[in-house]
């Protein structure tokens, strides 16, 4: 019998660059995913390629980027300087190789470690790079990081620049698809941060004239209380506004890189904003009241930024450069000077801003007693009893930075559905919250109802979002309801709850709807779970038509032994996305306000689809 404890030279293995990336992709692109979340790996691959184009633009080379995504084929073309032809293959396939190590060429670059494009290469089933410069073109083709075609340098009349074509490997990214909403948001952020840049995406032009002011205007969830404050300085740009919405909303960037998890620049901005406002009004207002209803964007440029991961989602730098001031002093001095001056010159804005602060102060004091009673009731009901079947690892569990991204809370209706999911789940990362009947319609109600209504109070406590999403306990909040009329209604009521009181949960990509199969098609040898009529027909063709067909009418009809297939590695989630062209309050008014002919027509049309589907399977 072999001794498993033996440890010698035979146990030591060296991996080449592509093998290591494919074996440990999370080290390079974060989580994998299937495209249902904005930070899934396929979007990181796209971002890594576009980052290089942006760096060229920032350095003054190439004002246009052409991007197309058709099915799974991605093409990105810039008109910058082009990768030096003799080093092109090394630049996309040799670790620790790249122009960004030379600070003269890339002074304030997004990426500094020369890894991004190599990761795209290694994780793509097809990767083609072409570079044009000095009237010549060089082309190379790879498969999963392996060079398969090295074309000779040829003369060319094409415009200078670099073109990258790739197909994410389905062996790594299973059942994936690019969602245009997430791609467009990524590209719009690039446009907002780089005025003068023009991005052509699938034939549509994306560009911005007013930078972060345009970003805020596009992301306002409610009517602004005053015109957007837009402040620009050397290596810093800020946009600020307030609405009647609850919570705080921030969009932060470093060197043109969106940092969805914030970091030192966002933290220092929040603190500096409070300090400036207190000094302007000469009042020691509570910080939460000052920032209540704020939507803001801050972009800074720093030398040699330090990020907390390869995906660059959170800034760790405490200084703006090796010889520059601290992040705190840099941002504080800018706001103290520019925001203070703006408020003095625009008394109508400063008056409106103060009214919003005083309103938040009154609401906070009025709710103080209600909050105490609500917290006491939550403890008495005990979240760790039947309402919440918790998991072991949470999103903000800093002890395990890998698992925290995966944590999920399923919100279910009824005991049978919650029981099936509870028995099938991964107890390490998946929790279940069981609803008692239909939730209250929260449209038009104040946040007071969150504490007075037991279901809302317990759900808020389970998610730990009373003070905002900074301490959210689960990265994925998944609504798991039946695909019938009642289930759809419950989905809408829950989405209304989040839109009304916690819109940042949705805006930051945390809310999903669980997709479960409509049919089970099987014979004695094989079983197929089908999510649509098309998949059902395909399954019948594979089984040559001789099969048993079961229509799942509710989640409770799916046994735990089957449910594990739908919430495991192959889970299908539909993200709840707020379109940038419709304010949240208009959405709520349409779906949950007084009945209108338009809404009645919408409901009838959508129910007809479900009705036809049911009739066809009887």
Give residue-wise pLDDT tens across range 302-338.
887 887 766 677 888 788 777 778 889 999 999 999 9
CA distance 277 to 285: 9
Q: Between these two residues, 96 and 317, which has the higher pLDDT value?
A: 317
pLDDT band at 591 (very low <50, low <70, confident <90, very high): low
pLDDT band at 38 (very low <50, low <70, confident <90, very high): confident
pLDDT at 8 over 80: no
Q: Between these two residues, 584 and 509, which has the higher pLDDT value?
A: 509
pLDDT at 588 over 70: no
Per-residue pLDDT at 161: 95
pLDDT at 382 over 60: no
Q: What is the largest distance, in Å, between two alpha-carbon atoms of the chain?
A: 84
DSSP conformation letters of 508-539 = TT-EEEEE--SEEEE-SS-EEEESSHHHHHHH
Tell me the mean pLDDT in the region 520-540. Answer: 88
User: Average per-residue pLDDT in the chain?
Assistant: 83
pLDDT at 248 over 60: yes
pLDDT band at 396 (very low <50, low <70, confident <90, very high): confident
Q: Between these two residues, 586 and 425, which has the higher pLDDT value?
A: 425
Containing 432, the helix (H) or strand (E) segment is strand 430-435
Q: Is there a contact between 166 and 130 (Cβ–Cβ < 8 Å)?
A: no
pLDDT at 6 over 70: no
pLDDT at 190 over 60: yes
Per-residue pLDDT at 270: 94
pLDDT band at 353 (very low <50, low <70, confident <90, very high): very high
Query: pTM for the whole thing?
Result: 0.79
**Burial per residue of 598-610, b for 16 or more beta-carbon CB atoms within 10 angstroms, e otherwise:** eeeeeeeeeeeee
Give residue-wise pLDDT tens across range 547-576.
889 888 777 778 888 888 888 878 888 888
Q: Is there a contact between 315 and 306 (Cβ–Cβ < 8 Å)?
A: yes
Per-residue pLDDT at 50: 93
Among the ranges 70-84, 372-386, 394-408, which has the highest mean pLDDT value? 70-84
pLDDT at 7 over 60: no
Q: Between these two residues, 33 and 358, which has the higher pLDDT value?
A: 358
pLDDT at 106 over 60: no
Per-residue pLDDT at 615: 33
pLDDT at 110 over 60: no
Tell me the mean pLDDT in the region 374-401. Answer: 68
Per-residue pLDDT at 215: 93
- Among 38-42, 251-255, 596-600, which stretch is predicted with the lowest mean pLDDT? 596-600
Per-residue pLDDT at 151: 94
Please state at what angle helix 485-501 crosses helix 597-617, rounded to 10 degrees.
140
Among the ranges 96-100, 232-236, 254-258, 367-371, which has the highest mean pLDDT value? 232-236
Tell me the mean pLDDT in the region 209-216. Answer: 94
Phi, psi dihedrals of residue 147, rounded to the nearest 5°:
-70, 125
CA distance 51 to 84: 17
Domains of the chain: 17-206 (3.30.565.10), 212-364 (3.30.230.10), 382-516+552-617 (3.40.50.670)
380-387 contact pairs (CB < 8 A, 24+): 381/454, 381/458, 383/458, 383/461, 383/462, 386/434, 387/433, 387/434, 387/458, 387/462
pLDDT at 406 over 50: yes
pLDDT band at 583 (very low <50, low <70, confident <90, very high): low
pLDDT band at 400 (very low <50, low <70, confident <90, very high): very low
Tokens representing 261?
A: 């998890």
pLDDT band at 610 (very low <50, low <70, confident <90, very high): very low
Per-residue pLDDT at 46: 94
Tokens representing 13?
A: 């293995």
Per-residue pLDDT at 377: 66
Find the radius of gyration of the CA atoms of the chain: 26
Per-residue pLDDT at 600: 59
Among the ranges 19-28, 164-173, 403-412, which has the highest mean pLDDT value? 164-173
């Amino acid at each position: 019998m072999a001794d498993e404890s033996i440890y010698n030279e035979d146990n030591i293995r060296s991996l080449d660059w592509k093998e290591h990336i494919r074996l440990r992709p999370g080290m390079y692109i974060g989580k994998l995913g299937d495209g249902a979340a904005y930070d899934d790996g396929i979007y990181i691959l796209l971002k890594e390629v576009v980052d290089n184009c942006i760096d060229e633009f920032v350095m003054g080379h190439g004002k246009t980027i052409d991007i197309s995504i058709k099915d799974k084929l991605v093409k990105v073309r810039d008109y910058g300087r082009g990768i030096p032809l003799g080093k092109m293959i090394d630049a996309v396939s040799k670790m620790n190789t790249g122009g960004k190590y030379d600070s003269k060429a890339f002074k304030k670059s997004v990426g500094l470690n020369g890894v991004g494009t190599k990761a795209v290469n290694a994780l793509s089933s097809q990767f083609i790079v072409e570079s044009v410069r000095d009237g010549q073109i060089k082309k190379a083709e790879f498969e999963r990081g392996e060079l398969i075609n090295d074309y000779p340098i040829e003369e060319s009349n094409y415009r200078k620049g670099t073109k990258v074509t790739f197909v994410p490997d389905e062996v790594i990214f299973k059942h994936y698809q690019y969602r245009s909403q997430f791609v467009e948001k990524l590209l719009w952020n690039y446009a907002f941060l780089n005025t003068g840049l023009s991005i052509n995406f699938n034939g549509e032009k994306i560009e911005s004239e007013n930078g972060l002011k345009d970003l805020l205007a596009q992301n306002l969830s409610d009517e602004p209380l005053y015109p957007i404050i837009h402040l620009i300085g050397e290596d810093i740009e800020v946009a600020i506004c307030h609405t009647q919405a609850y919570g705080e909303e921030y969009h932060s960037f470093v060197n043109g890189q969106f940092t969805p998890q914030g970091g030192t620049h966002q933290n220092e901005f929040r603190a500096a904003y409070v300090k400036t406002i207190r000094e302007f009004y000469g009042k020691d207002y509570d910080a939460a009241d000052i920032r209540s209803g704020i939507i803001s964007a801050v972009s800074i440029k720093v030398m040699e930024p330090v990020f907390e991961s390869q995906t660059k989602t959170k800034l760790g730098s405490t200084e703006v450069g090796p010889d520059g001031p601290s992040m705190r002093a840099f941002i504080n001095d800018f706001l103290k000077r520019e925001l203070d001056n703006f408020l003095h010159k625009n008394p109508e804005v400063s008056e409106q801003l103060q009214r919003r602060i005083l309103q938040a102060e009154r609401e906070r004091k009025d709710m103080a007693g209600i909050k105490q009673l609500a917290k006491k009731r939550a403890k008495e009901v005990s979240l760790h009893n039947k309402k919440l079947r918790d998991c072991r690892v949470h999103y903000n569990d800093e002890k395990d930075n890998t698992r925290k991204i995966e944590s999920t809370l399923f919100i279910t209706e009824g005991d049978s559905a919650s029981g099936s999911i509870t028995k099938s789940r991964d107890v390490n990362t998946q929790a279940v919250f069981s609803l008692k009947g239909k939730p209250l319609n929260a449209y038009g109600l104040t946040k007071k109802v969150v504490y007075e209504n037991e279901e809302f109070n317990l759900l808020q406590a389970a998610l730990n979002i009373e003070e905002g999403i900074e301490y959210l306990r689960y990265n994925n909040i998944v609504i798991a309801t039946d695909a019938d009329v009642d289930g759809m209604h419950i989905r809408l009521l829950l989405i209304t709850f989040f839109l009304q009181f916690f819109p940042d949960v949705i805006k930051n990509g945390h809310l999903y709807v669980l997709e479960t199969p409509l049919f089970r098609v099987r014979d004695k040898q094989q079983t197929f779970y089908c999510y649509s009529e098309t998949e059902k027909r395909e399954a019948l063709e594979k089984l040559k038509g001789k099969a048993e067909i079961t229509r799942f009418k509710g989640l409770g009809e799916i046994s735990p032994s089957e449910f594990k297939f739908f919430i495991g590695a192959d889970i299908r989630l539909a993200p709840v996305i707020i379109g940038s062209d419709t304010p949240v309050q208009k959405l709520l008014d349409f779906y949950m306000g007084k009945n209108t002919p338009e809404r009645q027509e919408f409901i009838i049309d959508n129910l007809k689809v479900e009705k036809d589907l049911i009739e066809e399977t009887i």
